[in-house]
Structure 1
């Protein structure tokens, strides 16, 4: 083959490689597996092209003399020649090296590194570490509802709604100036909408995490850089790759706004700890969504307003690796193995952002051995041991069963510190995804459920369930509702058994027809009480048709026990 033809071949291959690098945003650092695979493929293409040209190129030869026969054979231009041994050696070396590094990056050779990538958790006390929740500001809006509310807000502006859309995957929860909210950037609706609005899509929408009515459209900002729906150098991954991370691993693009409302993309940078495996967050690239300016920060230098650096999938994999290889690779008996429960949630505690998930023994279904909480910036890890508690999925099923007549479905639960007791809280939504009721479920015993159309109603129902069961996790006087005391004469009293527990129900002449319910363990005097006795009862909140008693004193006997 002539020399000029060879030049054209190599030029064409190089041009195709450059186009592939540009449109696929290739990381040019060969110490990452996808990058190493690209280099191996590139070497293969060049070596095969060189070998073919060395053999005189290729030519098509018709099979037979019949001009109507269209089958052709491919032959080397120089006749019958063998494929160059040099090419075979180079190709074999490249792919053996790639396969070898991949193999030695596996858990088979790095079991301790897999187990210890997530450092030993700090064992904490739930009621000491987790702030008691303010039920007036508890998050009730999940990502799905935030997305629907943002889409509805966008639809109110027909001119904007026709040129932009919202991607649920970029709707992010964050704390801005002390307020917890969801932020949804607007995306271009397609290629032509991007081309017609090269300065960016028209802003973003915020949704309060605690008030579904608090939805705001912020049109003062243009989102020029965005993932998936912008093109060429406006595409977020490509923009970040070729401006700040040509030889760096990048992942996990999250949208955040600073305390002044300026929009940014937080792009996590990472390195592998063992060959091609065990990716570890090393910092961020802070991309200004309006201007495209990129700033790189090491993990220790990340701005304070940035909530999330650690990718959720990194954290979950590291937790599961620690549980899977707790006693090494060959642990066929599953001794002490644990895994994360189905699902996880982002929570905020004392102004910090955490990933929170339950831990279950391998093979367990509905019970948890505790919880783990990982700081989404520093990766500092806390573990709370709670053997026999309910998993998030079990709590959801229990809440769904409480309202099965309505067909409501529980959102993924938020675990809260309610009066110094770990408690699951979740909104109950209808088929349209709208909140209809709320539910509290005991972590210790997921059969104890309280529901109501307001959070306050659900809390009172939950307290009644706890107190009726004799659960002393929440002591009388610890509740967020005001206690009341009432004296009266017993008109009627009866005893009943429920799930092995004894309860008493009675009417008072001053109770306006209210049925008072008390667990037997509230007072020994209940067993001695009869109609006509003068008693004093204590209960939380206003008296309902059925009211749970938290303290009982039979004045006729004169000895109070509670």
Structure 2
């Protein structure tokens, strides 16, 4: 081998090795990014070994002395054509597979990658919402609360930064888990054992924020070389498998893991499909590959959100093939999506709108983030964006911004719930908006106040029944037998029983009346409420008559 060829080959292989180390690509040539990488490498090597046998580069002098002319390649008469044929076949195969994978030839596969949407009944199949367990902390707020908690440890805050929060259910509790990362290469070099711990933020209660320091995060996206998460996972667990969409999750004991989705392409270089996950221990690096059916119960999701949204849009776009110029029956996902939990499982929630439609939804879909089973709820009404604008209109004098809404089952009615935040990202109010009529809005300083306001708006709009709530306002006067209170993230709630109606348990928000705090057993009170079929009744008005008598006296 000629000296210059050896140098060229070594330089090419060095560049290739550095690319593999720093980009850690999939090494399987059946994936498009890997196929392109190998095509380039082989083309360069073929050129190095055979170019001088095929022909030579000839420089043509320019018309004026000192001015360079053209450069051309002059092929030898007896030069072999096989290297050129090899390269041409290689690239030809690449482009044939690429073209054959397009929707032009695979329209049915594009449409059917997402299974048929299973139509569900909202009132029966969607869990009735416990308003005390609504997730009011979104990702942006969880990040701020975690930063604040980290700031309480000045020595730690100078060493690490926080990663992206991940919503998950741990031992039945909905939380955001936020890992710690190295703040730079020098911090990594001096802390090769990993960063200490993570932060857990309750999605229900903004005051419930905990720093957990019993575990180290040794393998992470912000580490380098062999401790870089994707580098380590690629070369120890899945060198020939597609990897994407890593998420930070905790098992039931609190041990942190990285859950990294594995995927393959269903049609040539198109239609990526999740096949399972690599579950990697953040502290030890031990990993295990699982198929979707074998995943541990504590893994909440493995389906990448962008995969799901793309597949839903493909199903709606190609519902009658790609020659559907009239847009018949076409639909698409509405802007924005979120993760919600129903019956213990994690779902991606997004609305569906008709192509060319306005702010109207034809329904919404929930896709299981493990099995990819799609549930369709055909409920015509407002999109999430329209609901946000409606809620903001109720408090436009304050300039509050509505967070992306959640869909909740409020007394068998599909309802959007959202927080209203100021410019600093602090929650100032809560809002409920009817999915079927986004002009029906309830806003309050607490979740329960917002719900009462919403139910009042429903009645004002002509609803004769709100779930199991009778539309007729009932007033009672009686003597307090028992009274107690509890405090949560929504404020103080009081519970009382009257001598005259011991079968009923009345609840009332502390903000409804200042008299509640000093009411005692034996006091005469007047209450108003909309009767429910259950034992628990929620008051809309409370008046302690003892204070009225004192004022009259």
- TM-score by length of structure 2 reads 0.83
Q: Secondary structure at the match of 1:426?
A: strand
Structure 2 residue 30 is the aligned partner of structure 1 residue 40: no
Q: Secondary structure at the match of 1:40?
A: helix
Q: 1:130 to 1:475 in 2, by over 3 A?
A: closer
For the Cα contact (< 8 Å) 2:412–2:467, is it kept in 1? Answer: no
Q: Which residue of 2 aligns with 1:215?
A: 209
Cα displacement (A) at 1:10 = 2.2
For the Cα contact (< 8 Å) 1:121–1:383, is it kept in 2? Answer: yes
Among candidates 334, 350, 368, match of residue 361 of structure 2: 368
Task: Report matched runs for 1:514-529 at 5 Å.
Answer: none
CA–CA distance in structure 2, aligned partners of residues 195 and 397 of structure 1: 49
For the Cα contact (< 8 Å) 2:470–2:530, is it kept in 1? Answer: no
CA–CA distance in structure 2, aligned partners of residues 382 and 347 of structure 1: 13
Q: 1:192 to 1:123 in 2, by over 3 A?
A: same
CA–CA distance in structure 2, aligned partners of residues 438 and 274 of structure 1: 46
Structure 2 residue 320 is the aligned partner of structure 1 residue 330: no
Q: Which residue of 2 aligns with 1:522?
A: none
For the Cα contact (< 8 Å) 2:419–2:427, is it kept in 1? Answer: yes
Cα displacement (A) at 1:363 = 1.1
Q: Which residue of 2 aligns with 1:297?
A: 290
CA–CA distance in structure 1, aligned partners of residues 398 and 99 of structure 2: 53
Q: Which residue of 2 aligns with 1:528?
A: none
CA-to-aligned-CA distance 1:380-401 (integer Å, 9 cap, x gap): 11111112x1111100000000
For the Cα contact (< 8 Å) 2:167–2:175, is it kept in 1? Answer: yes
Cα displacement (A) at 1:58 = 7.5
Structure 2 residue 421 is the aligned partner of structure 1 residue 429: yes
Q: Which residue of 2 aligns with 1:346?
A: 339
Among candidates 129, 132, 148, match of residue 133 of structure 1: 129
Cα displacement (A) at 1:63 = 8.4
CA-to-aligned-CA distance 1:63-88 (integer Å, 9 cap, x gap): 8999xx69799798xx9858863333
CA-to-aligned-CA distance 1:282-302 (integer Å, 9 cap, x gap): 110011111111111111100
Q: Which residue of 2 aligns with 1:386?
A: 379
Q: 1:395 to 1:18 in 2, by over 3 A?
A: same
Q: Secondary structure at the match of 2:205?
A: coil
Q: Secondary structure at the match of 2:124?
A: helix
CA–CA distance in structure 1, aligned partners of residues 407 and 337 of structure 2: 11
CA–CA distance in structure 1, aligned partners of residues 476 and 67 of structure 2: 102
CA-to-aligned-CA distance 1:284-321 (integer Å, 9 cap, x gap): 00111111111111111000000011000011111111
- TM-score by length of structure 1 reads 0.82
For the Cα contact (< 8 Å) 1:355–1:375, is it kept in 2? Answer: yes
Cα displacement (A) at 1:419 = 0.7
Task: Report matched runs for 1:30-69 at 5 Å.
Answer: 30-54=29-53
CA–CA distance in structure 2, aligned partners of residues 7 and 346 of structure 1: 55
Among candidates 184, 189, 192, match of residue 195 of structure 1: 189
> How many pairs align?
486
Q: Which residue of 1 aligns with 2:484?
A: none
Task: Report matched runs for 1:524-535 at 5 Å.
Answer: none
Task: Report matched runs for 1:162-241 at 5 Å.
Answer: 162-167=158-163, 170-227=164-221, 229-241=222-234
Q: Which residue of 1 aligns with 2:493?
A: none
Cα displacement (A) at 1:473 = 5.5
The alignment yields a C-alpha RMSD, in angstroms, of 2.6
For the Cα contact (< 8 Å) 1:52–1:58, is it kept in 2? Answer: no
Q: Which residue of 2 aligns with 1:442?
A: 434
Among candidates 97, 102, 108, match of residue 106 of structure 1: 102
CA–CA distance in structure 2, aligned partners of residues 57 and 304 of structure 1: 64
Q: 1:111 to 1:33 in 2, by over 3 A?
A: same
CA–CA distance in structure 1, aligned partners of residues 134 and 99 of structure 2: 48
5+ residue gaps, structure 1, are 488-535, 546-562
For the Cα contact (< 8 Å) 1:250–1:267, is it kept in 2? Answer: yes
Moved more, 314-323 or 79-88: 79-88
